[in-house]
């Protein structure tokens, strides 16, 4: 079976699914994806199908997301091609992001995995290309695979999601991870709370419980996730020393967190700002486990989109 024939025969009838957000996924669909990810962790055999290469278009910097998608492709026996940033591409000559995406799509990859700023109309352009699509981080709009891997990590170590209380600490307003967690929490029925400097929080958001202090929030939480201060999305720079003094996770503040709770961070971690380095030695810390689960979750998602896209329709 040739790669082109395999791709058309498997996904052509499903109108080329685009995994942009989590709004339409049901609890059952999400847990089927989790089950697949967990089975891959136990038996990581490859697809061994003759699919065309996967195209990874990363217009924003990335370490964990990009490499975990590359790792996931490799574990599935899929080759991949990478466009990383503008350097060395026709974007330096004035080509638009849209034209770049459409030209790569015209090369007929089996799947497009795209990370970009808000200025790429990912929702509409993904409908133009005749290729399955995964949102690998879209400006401030969403990062669905990160929210899913976070939830998978919680599920693995807490054994449930519907009764969890997830506290998001820090730059909530500018976080695409938070945007996706609000979508996922609606499907999986966990609570989301937040705390941080007032200018970092939502002006109005009925789905999020706000806390006036980190200690108050930690006493409420079963999971705490620190968020990076995204200076690149702010108009003014913030005093990071002052931020850490009030909102940083360290041995003293974490004394308010239950011993059975989890400590997470979507990365990259700024040591001494969001989290002290010694927190990584706390038995509740699962930050590196998030990275591990991210590969299995993305592997499960790629496999589903290529072989069983109807499971996400």
Domain positions in the chain: 3-139+294-312, 144-291
Lowest mean pLDDT among 47-56, 90-99, 100-109, 147-156: 47-56
- pLDDT, residue 238, reads 67
Question: With 0-12 CB in 10 A as exposed, 13-18 as middle and 19+ as buried, what is 188?
Answer: buried
Q: How far, in Å, CA of 286 to CA of 14, rounded?
A: 37
Residue whose tokens read 């891997």: 149
pLDDT digits (tens, 9 = 90+) for 274-290: 999 999 999 999 999 99
- Residue 46: both structure tokens together: 């490859």
What is the number of H-type helices and E-type strands within the chain? 10, 10
* CA-closest candidate to residue 166, choices 210, 118, 225, 109: 225
Contacts of 50 (CB under 8 A, 6+ apart): 1, 2, 3, 6
53 DSSP assignment: P
pTM, full prediction = 0.92
User: According to the model, what pLDDT value does residue 49 have?
Assistant: 66
**Which fold does the domain 3-139+294-312 belong to in CATH?**
Rossmann fold (3.40.50)
Q: For residue range 149-185, what is the model confidence (pLDDT) as tens digits? A: 999 999 999 999 999 999 999 999 889 999 999 999 9
Domains 3-139+294-312 and 144-291 alike in fold? yes
Q: 144-291, what's its fold?
A: Rossmann fold (3.40.50)
Residue 102 pLDDT > 90, yes or no?
A: yes
What was the pLDDT predicted at 16? 75
Confidence category of residue 234, pLDDT binned at 50, 70, 90: low
SS3 19: strand
Q: What is the CA radius of gyration of the chain?
A: 20
CB half-sphere exposure, 236, CA atoms < 13 A = 4
């Amino acid at each position: 079976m040739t790669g082109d024939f395999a791709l058309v025969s498997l996904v052509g009838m499903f109108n080329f699914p685009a995994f942009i957000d989590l709004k339409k996924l049901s609890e059952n669909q999400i847990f089927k994806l989790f089950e697949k990810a967990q089975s891959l962790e136990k038996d990581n055999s490859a697809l061994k199908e003759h699919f065309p290469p996967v195209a990874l278009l990363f217009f924003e910097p990335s370490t964990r997301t990009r490499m975990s998608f590359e790792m996931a492709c490799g574990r599935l026996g899929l080759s991949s091609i990478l466009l990383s940033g503008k350097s060395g591409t026709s974007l330096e000559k004035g080509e638009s992001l849209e034209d770049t995406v459409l030209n790569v799509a015209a090369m007929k990859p089996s799947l497009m995995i795209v990370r970009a700023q808000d200025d790429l109309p990912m929702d509409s352009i993904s409908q133009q290309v005749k290729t399955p699509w995964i949102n690998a981080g879209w400006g401030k709009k969403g990062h669905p695979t990160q929210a899913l891997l976070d939830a998978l990590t919680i599920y693995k170590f807490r054994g449930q999601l519907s009764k969890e209380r997830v506290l998001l600490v820090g730059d909530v307003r500018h976080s695409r991870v938070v945007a996706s967690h609000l979508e996922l929490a609606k499907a999986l029925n966990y609570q989301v709370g937040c705390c941080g400097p007032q200018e970092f929080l939502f002006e109005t958001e009925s789905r999020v419980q706000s806390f006036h202090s980190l200690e108050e929030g930690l006493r409420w939480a079963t999971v705490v996730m620190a968020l990076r201060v995204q200076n690149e999305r702010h108009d003014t720079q913030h005093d990071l020393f002052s931020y850490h003094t009030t909102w940083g996770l360290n041995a003293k503040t974490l004394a308010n967190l239950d011993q059975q709770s989890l400590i997470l961070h979507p990365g990259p971690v700024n040591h001494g700002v969001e989290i002290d380095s010694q927190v990584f030695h706390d038995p509740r810390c699962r930050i590196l486990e998030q990275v591990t689960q991210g590969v299995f979750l993305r592997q499960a998602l790629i496999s589903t989109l290529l072989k069983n896209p109807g499971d996400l329709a």
